[in-house]
A and B are shown apart, each in its own frame.
Chain A
Amino acid sequence: DTEVTQTPKHLVMGMTNKKSLKCEQHMGHRAMYWYKQKAKKPPELMFVYSYEKLSINESVPSRFSPECPNSSLLNLHLHALQPEDSALYLCASSQPGQGAVGYTFGSGTRLTVV
């Protein structure tokens, strides 16, 4: 299995809703990432988990809350989002220390906040 699976593929939520994005990989990767990507921009790093521990939080607002229940799963809990949070949210995984092979990305969740 060489994929990163993200669910749901599309999500529309109101500003008072609580929702979660899910990510799963079975490649044995021990680093997992959340990225946010706006149209015509490169991916923007949000969080990094290394060996199931949060190692990087790129000053992301607290309305985004990551969770790594185990080495295969990564969640992003969303609460009280703003319309400007609408974007493609990408999950990625990699093996720590393997700089040459890059990350494996999921297909993303297209989030629209109304």
Chain B
Amino acid sequence: DQQVKQNSPSLSVQEGRISILNCDYTNSMFDYFLWYKKYPAEGPTFLISISSIKDKNEDGRFTVFLNKSAKHLSLHIVPSQPGDSAVYFCAASLMDSNYQLIWGAGTKLIIKP
């Protein structure tokens, strides 16, 4: 049972425009949602997170929105830059499982010049 889903395997966006990456989840008990960015042959890098009691968190060009009623979150990157081209993983965690991460399948973001 896949508790965290990223239904878009890839996304192509023009440089300077907004990139929106989506993630859905099934477990309403998740405490945190996190976004990681991964370049080929490197480990994932933590980008931004949001607590389940919030609906928005912003850090520079990155904003994460959480819609608990729809069990949906999204990562907005604006403006998109060529260096943003990477695979983005959505993950969720539960305090009861000591914040062990449950991962989505990832979305490959391609920023076109």
**Binary contact readout A41-68 vs B (1 if CB under 8 angstroms, 0 otherwise):** 1110100101000011000000000000
B98 within 8 A of A: yes
Of the candidate stretches B41-49, B65-73, B76-84, the one touching chain A is B41-49
Pick from A98, A102, A110: contact of B36, CB below 8 A: A102
Instruction: Please classify how large the interface on chain B is, using the bins under 10, 10 to 19, 20 to 34, 35 or more.
Output: 20 to 34
Contact between chains at B41 and A88 (CB < 8 Å): yes
Q: Mark A90-114, 1 if CB is under 8 A from B, else 0.
A: 1110101111111111111010000
- Is there contact, CB below 8 Å, between B104 and A106? no
**Contact among A6, A56, A90, A103 with B46 in the assembled complex (CB-CB below 8 Å):** A103
The reply to whether A90 and B43 form a contact with Cβ atoms under 8 Å apart is yes
Check if A104 sits within 8 Å of B49, measured CB to CB.
Answer: no
Residues on B with beta carbons closer than 8 Å to the beta carbon of A98: 99
Alpha-carbon gap, A100 to B51, bound state (A): 7
* CB-contact partner of B43 in A41, A92, A96, A100, under 8 A: A92
Complex: A38 Cα to B104 Cα, angstroms? 14
| Given A100-B51, A102-B36, CB of A43 within 8 Å of CB of B45 | no
Query: In the bound complex, what is the Cα–Cα distance between A85 and B43 (angstroms)?
Result: 18
- Residue A4 CB within 8 A of the other chain: yes
Q: Which residues of B contact A88 (CB under 8 A)?
A: 41
- Whether A99 pairs with B95 at a CB distance below 8 angstroms is yes
Question: Is the CB–CB distance between B101 and A103 below 8 Å?
Answer: yes
Is B25 an interface residue, CB under 8 A from the partner? no
**Contact status B51-A108, CB under 8 Å:** no
Tell me the smallest distance from the CB of B71 to a CB of chain A, in Å.
18
Q: Kindly supply a per-residue 1/0 record for chain B positions 31-43, scoring 1 wherever the CB is within 8 Å of any chain A CB and 0 otherwise.
A: 1101010000111
> B13 contacts the other chain (Cβ, under 8 Å)?
no
User: B22 contacts the other chain (Cβ, under 8 Å)?
Assistant: no
**Among the listed B31, B43, B89, B98, which residue makes an inter-chain contact with A108, where contact means beta carbons less than 8 Å apart?**
B43
Given contacts A99-B93, A108-B43, 5 further A-B contacts (CB under 8 A): A90-B43, A97-B98, A100-B49, A100-B51, A107-B42
